[in-house]
Amino acid sequence: MTRTAFVTGASSGIGRATAVALAQVGFQLVLTGRRRERLEELAQQLAPTPTHLLTFDVRDRAAVDAAVASLPAAFQQIDVLVNNAGGAHGLAPIQEGNPDDWDTMLDSNVKGLLNVSQALLPGMTQRRQGHIINIGSIAGHEVYANGNVYCASKAAVAALSKAMRIDLLPLNIRVAEVNPGAVETEFSQVRFKGDTERAAKVYQGYDPLKPEDIADVIQFMVTRPANVHIAEVTIFAGAQGAATLINRT
């Protein structure tokens, strides 16, 4: 029987790489994001893997619910949910922070995860089967200077992952958290609001993780037998020892 994975933020970075990795092991895919053209490009790349595209913002609960309700019968049974959508906005001390950035991070990283999970959990609970992978960050476990609200949002993901794992255990639904360190994606471009030069400096002087490195781990996690539950993984670049400790050359 074909298994179905639902990947948020699949238009780029870790989400896109995860979609590719799951297609390689036989999953059909519900690909979601805000950039329809990128999702269409990915679906073409993944052919002949069956895919269904949903365009919405995870912050919009009504849009999430409507999108999930629109799934055709062949894609309604979600076996794996990868809550990947989110990001960082700004890097400033708390007294200089932009409240609009705070809203965006909390609404996407925390409420977005909740919105999508709540929309898909009725099906999982009814079947008493499912696997949820929440993409956290080392920032949720190590606070660093000027990371304040982003770190807080990812700390919330860590707490929610543990709470979901406890609440859903009697329903045979596994919940895991994947915490990447320094991964070269569009993350820093978003954080620095399109300042590509500043974003590039984040990854200079060492070999950062690639989205495919995170996707490989997710692929491994969701293909373990039922008696194995990998609950939490932290992944650093080889030159990284902590959130902000990187051995640059």
Query: What percent of the chain lies above the pLDDT cut of 70?
Result: 98
According to the 3-state scheme, what is the secondary structure of 11-70?
Answer: CCHHHHHHHHHHHHCCCEEEEEECCHHHHHHHHHHHCCCCEEEEECCCCCHHHHHHHHHC
CA distance 231 to 225: 14
Average predicted confidence (pLDDT) for the chain: 95
β partners of residue 233:
178
Identify the pLDDT of residue 185: 81
| pLDDT one-digit tens code per residue, 18-40 | 999 999 999 999 999 999 999 99
Other Cβ atoms within 10 Å of 15 Cβ, number: 27
β partners of residue 245:
242
- The residue annotated as part of the active site, out of 144, 150, 203, 206, is 150
pLDDT at 163 over 70: yes
pLDDT at 188 over 70: no
Identify the pLDDT of residue 41: 97
Mean pLDDT value of segment 149-162: 98
Mean pLDDT value of segment 142-147: 96
Model confidence, pTM: 0.94
| pLDDT one-digit tens code per residue, 56-85 | 999 999 999 999 999 999 999 999 999 999
Q: Which numeric CATH code is attached to 4-246?
A: 3.40.50.720
Identify the pLDDT of residue 192: 67
For 134-173, b/e burial (b = at least 16 CB within 10 A) is bbbbbbbbbeeeebbbbbbbbbbbbebbeebbeebeeeeb
State yes or no: is 150 an active-site residue. Answer: yes
